[in-house]
Chain A
Amino acid sequence: MYLANIIKSHNNMYIYDALNNRFCTISSKEDILNDNKYADFLISSNFRDIKKPCAFEIKYPYSEEELNNMFTRSIKSITLSLTERCNLRCEYCGYMPKYSDESYLLKDMSRDVAYKAIDLLMNNSHESELCHLGFYGGEPLLRLDLIEECINYINRKYPFRKPSYNIVTNAVLLNDKVADYFIENDIHVIISFDGPKQHHNKYRVDYNGVSSYERVYQNIQVLYKKDPKFFRTHVTYNVVLCNGTSNELFESIDSLWKSDVNIIEPMLTEHFINTRDKNKDIVTDEKINPTTYDFANRNMLKSMKKYYNSFHESMCGNIIFPGGFCTPGIRKNFVTANGKIVVCEKVDESQEVFHIGDVYRGIDADNVKRLINETLRRVEKCKYCWAAKFCKLCFKDILNIDDDFCKRAKSQVESELGFYFDNICNKRELINYVSNISLT
């Protein structure tokens, strides 16, 4: 089959044609695999002959001129890595190799770098509806002084536009004063919190291996008690799913008073794979029904949006750019402690290909071109892939697109597509809901 695949869902079996974006119910694989049956199927369904060779044409959607235009008008977000230091030693953290290396000197961001990054954002975002500044680490609350300086600098220098702020924190230092500061400055708070005590304490420990749950829970309460309404609209939990899913975990997360929850798959860094104590894992084989939990249901329906878009767009053709890539230099910009701009906070910042500029010279068009060309080279093989349009692939993955990655990505698309065909596309209420979902 070319650019097509049989999708087996819980209730049905479908044939999906990625080139024409069509799908059709079949009674068994034989409808496609058996030549006689296939001939009948083609006549009755008016389907494309999916056994005829074809391929997508891979093309990046924006020209250099267009990108350069955007870099001076539409930068939407910059996230500052205020420090590489952290007061916890979460075993799955991407910085653990640095923390374990005694010879490595952990860096702090200077005021000058922070101010330059802010200028870059504020002076190049005037046509953007989003103007966002993020505080990240390490643990950014170790640099509360710099956060205060940054916000004061913006208030002073840019009196007529306020960016939206967020901070990703482990909440260990979230005391009374910090809570007041967050509320006063309208800062969205993303708290790394892995659920009930036994889940959270498994990997979220300090230098001495002391668990953090008790301190964190107390501190979150401080913020909550200050202003429950603020908490409801400004606090999101990042939950790293180290032990798979369980009803206990989902129920506990779902019950929290919060704005939202992001479920995060752990980064399987080499360090984590080597040091992970399998005995600590709480193994559960529980099947979760996501519709039981509001946050899970919302996330699941959100994941359906790309399928909805694809099946409702007016034009389809063979020119695509696979995966879910953002526009480099526009939507996410991660400024390292020493002022380099990398494409986002999730990429391996030690890889040169992800460096797209620095705070002194701004976004470097040549570096962006290099990243795009490298990406195009790496996704060349996607032109033969039926799942390319819906693949989870983004910049953070481009150096690791091996067979295993593709297998997992296809399996995910297959399962999501099956869910869409079975449960979404024929249900008017759900289709309405999905069509109205806004993504950030």
Chain B
Amino acid sequence: MKVALIDTGILNIELTNKSEIRHFSFNGKSLVEEYKKPSDSHGTDCYKEILSSCADSEIQIYDFNVTDEAGSLQVSNIVKSIKKSIEQKVDIINISMGLSAYSKELYEICYEAMQNNIVVLSAASHNNTVSFPADFNNVICVKVDQGQTEKIKAIDNTIVSVAMKDFIVKENDVEFDFSSSSLACARLCGYLCCDLSDIPLNDKFKTLSLKYKLNFSRPNDSSSGNSLSESGIQHILSNNRVAVVLFPLNLHETINENLLHENIVAYYNHENCGFYSFKSRTLTTEFDVIMLLNSAYFDLEVPNSIEENYKSYKVIRIGNYLGEDDNKYLYDYDRHESSEMAILEKPVIAIASLCSGLNKSDIQLSLLNSFKNDGLDIEAVSNNPIGVLYNMNVFNFPGAIKFPNIVYNINRYMYSSEINKNIDAWLINIGGAIGQVNNMNIYNFGKLSDAYFLAANIDLAIMCITPSSDIQNLKLQLADFYKHGTEKIFLVLSQNDIDYSSMNYRNGLHTYCVDSKKYSDFFKHLRANIEEKVFTLEDVQNGVLYDNVLEALS
């Protein structure tokens, strides 16, 4: 067993042959593998207690003397020591000390230890106040109970008490039992070395749960939402020549070059494995930034080696990726905090859909193109990274949509834009929707749609639906939008449909392209059974939808 003893250091003359030992200490802020004479006996006492409580096990001790030059305790030294212990793959970390101030770093490194199957023990506060890391929900907090008969007793999910009655201290010839949670912690550490030593491949937390009924909190691995700063994408586009890598792969075939941002100069051709200039269609290296734009709803996994392969370029990942992304460069709803609603004056066209992959961006782009040709200043908003190509205001899709804050945020953003820019109309492509999966769904067009519809009076809603949409349910959904002030609704029938066999897939619903017969059959059925105007994708491309939009707005 490998035990890290994070404490005041072990006096090397007290070492027994029972254990191997490595000493670590701090030279200024640096953790070094060097012996430093301890300033007190606390660490040495804990060391002895660990060894004496574990009769059989072979123990390797990692002695971390975390005191600084002044002999005081710094949280950063504890954090560094835990980190080193994780690197050294210890089994148990004993911290018979604590701090009264909460530290996020300390919490996170304790969680990191847990993820590495390392048990962290720490002594409870002596005066019944807080003590960290003992009070974290991923650390065993050790108390003393001189009244208990059991060696170890679980009090709570992560709190145990240890009997120390036999620990007799002699002071001025007077013997008394010593109720130190520090030494109780060390004692428990020794016990656990025995409990955990024979099972190298086992989940230590499971063993502790079975034996002592301890249950540790295992928070999800997912990141804690969006930590977004200022929007940087337009800054990057204004100051660099950018090459784009588009996902899905065939996206570059549908780029509208009339609307393309002037500084986006090249695209990656996946088939020919090279960057090509938009202007000359020849191979090019004349750009400074490579921007990966994933417009798919699923998390794309890209090689870590991209940065290494393209050393001379700045690589930016926009959209959904496994691992790191650069969506911090996108706009963020949280930036526009407000507690009041403002009145918006410009006409708003919103495009929403029952699920992803229903051509919202195609519709937005087609309308944007027509509006621009007619000389109108359109403020285009999107949650789809593809909007970056066309200088749209692309918002990061929020990790959590919190009502009512999101409504205020959207309203404030639109209001600020209206007073600072010349805008003839809004054209908003609202991301995210969940489709009708079952009867429990409420937000069929997505929570973000609901937020937009509450934040602004939508003059015209263009709803993209699937060929298997249930018409009765659709009518109810549309009625709800009318009730919230939407003036007019058009429907566009996508050729992609929800693949119901993917209902349980980890990454959400998938869509597939239905055949032409199913598409036209449902289109006729829809037209016959619903009052709203219904358009095909062909209507979008040949301008029929645009004509109707103009008519509706006028």
Residues of chain A at the chain B interface (Cβ within 8 Å):
61-66, 69-70, 73-74, 123, 126-131, 155, 157-164, 217, 220-221, 224-225, 227-229, 231-232, 254-258, 294, 305, 309, 312-315, 327, 435, 437-440
Contact of A70 with B440 in the complex, beta carbons under 8 Å: no
Binds A, one of B146-154, B502-510, B545-553: B502-510
Q: What are 28 contact pairs spanning A and B, CB under 8 A? A: A63-B514, A123-B249, A126-B248, A126-B250, A129-B505, A129-B507, A129-B510, A158-B270, A159-B273, A159-B303, A159-B306, A161-B301, A161-B302, A162-B303, A163-B301, A224-B201, A228-B89, A228-B115, A228-B116, A255-B202, A255-B203, A256-B201, A256-B203, A257-B203, A257-B204, A305-B504, A314-B436, A314-B470
Asked if B504 and A161 sit within 8 Å, CB to CB, the answer is no
> Which chain B residues border A435 with CB–CB below 8 Å?
440
B505 touches A257 (CB 8 A): no
Residue in A70, A126, A435 with the greatest tally of chain B CB atoms within 10 Å: A126
Asked whether B554 is an interface residue with its Cβ less than 8 Å from the other chain, the reply is no
Interface string of B516-528 (1 = CB under 8 A from A): 1110000000000
Taking the closest CB of chain A, its distance from the CB of B423, in whole angstroms, is: 34
Say which residue of A74, A229, A327, A437 sits within 8 Å of B501 (CB atoms): A327
A-B contact count (CB 8 A): 134
Known contacts A63-B518, A160-B306, A312-B440: does B200 contact A221 (CB below 8 Å)?
yes
Residues on A with beta carbons closer than 8 Å to the beta carbon of B473:
314
Q: Which B residues are CB-close (under 8 A) to A309?
A: 438, 503-504
Give A312 to B440 CA distance when docked, in angstroms. Answer: 8
B352 within 8 Å of A (CB atoms) = no
* CB-CB contacts below 8 Å: B369-402 with A: none
Number of B residues whose C-beta is below 8 Å from A?
57
State whether B516 touches A65 (Cβ < 8 A): yes
Q: Find chain A residues with CB under 8 A from B506 CB.
A: 438-440
CB interface residues, B 288-346, toward A, < 8 Å: 292, 296-303, 305-306, 309
With A66-B514, A160-B306 already in contact, the answer to whether A254 and B438 are too (CB < 8 A) is no
Smallest CB–CB gap between A57 and chain B, Å?
17
Q: How far is the CB of A296 from chain B (nearest CB, A)?
A: 13
* B436 & A65 in contact (Cβ 8 Å cutoff): no
Q: Contacts A126-B250, A127-B248, A256-B202 known; A61 to B501 CB distance under 8 Å?
A: yes
With A66-B513, A74-B512 as given contacts, are A161 and B115 in contact (CB-CB < 8 Å)? no
Residue of A with least CB distance to B518? A63
Whether A258 contacts B303 in the complex (CB less than 8 A), given A225-B89, A228-B118, A438-B505, comes out as: no
How far apart sit A131 and B247, CA to CA, in the bound complex (Å)? 13
Query: Which one of B298, B309, B517 lies within 8 Å of A129 (CB-CB)?
Result: B298
Q: How far is the CA of A73 from the CA of B250 in the complex (A)?
A: 10
Tell yes or no: B163 within 8 A of A by CB: no
The reply to whether B512 and A70 form a contact with Cβ atoms under 8 Å apart is yes
Cβ of B22 within 8 Å of any chain A Cβ, yes or no, is no
Question: With an 8 A cutoff between CB atoms, is B439 at the interface?
Answer: yes
Q: Is the CB of B300 within 8 A of A161?
A: yes
Complex Cα spacing A437 to B506, Å: 8
Cα separation A255 to B203 with both chains bound (whole Å): 6
Contacts of B510 in A (CB 8 A): 74, 128-129
Task: Kindly list chain B residues whose C-beta atoms are within 8 Å of the C-beta of A70.
Answer: 512-513
- Asked if B117 and A232 make an inter-chain contact with CB atoms under 8 angstroms apart, the answer reads yes
